[in-house]
Amino acid sequence: MHSNEFVLVGVIAVTTATICVWKLLSAIAPSGTGYVAKTLCSAVFVSGRDPVSVQEEEFTGLNPLLNLVKFHLDKDCREVRASLFGLGAQRSVFRSGLGCTLVDFKSTLPTPPRALSAPRRPNDDGPLNLGVIQAPKEVDVARLK
């Protein structure tokens, strides 16, 4: 083989490997980015946690690719967007009384029906406080203690 042929084979091999890696990342990215977006959204907007501590405590040691997921937390819109090298972009939105939900980027969420609304918090920026929950009458509460 001549040197030009070696270069051509090398270029083809590198291009093929790049396409394979890109296809693999495209297939698995939505799972990881969805996990990051939903976990961060719930931790920040439902539990009132700091995003940096969530990153350190929830994502460290799970999968090295999670360290490469970039996210944007929008406190005004109460949403988190995450992607891996621009692939598998996911969006999680907080809705008062319902928590966080992964949604399509084009989606506009309707106001939840009253039947689904949970008890309201006095301050939507703080953690959810459900207060005292009554057991159904068929449950023997004394036996649970």
Mean pLDDT by 10 residues, the chain (145 residues): 74 79 70 90 93 88 84 91 87 89 72 48 54 72 75
Residue 101 lies inside a defined structural domain of this protein: yes
Contacting residues for 58 by C-beta, under 8 A, at least 6 apart: 39, 43
Residue 43: inside a domain, yes or no?
yes
The overall pTM is greater than 0.95: no
| 131, part of any domain | no
Does residue 139 form part of some domain?
no
Q: How many domains does the chain have?
A: 1
Residue 145 lies in a domain: no
- Beta strand segments in 2-95, E: 70-74, 79-84, 87-95
Domain of 19, in residue numbers: 3-119
Q: What is the per-residue pLDDT for 77?
A: 87
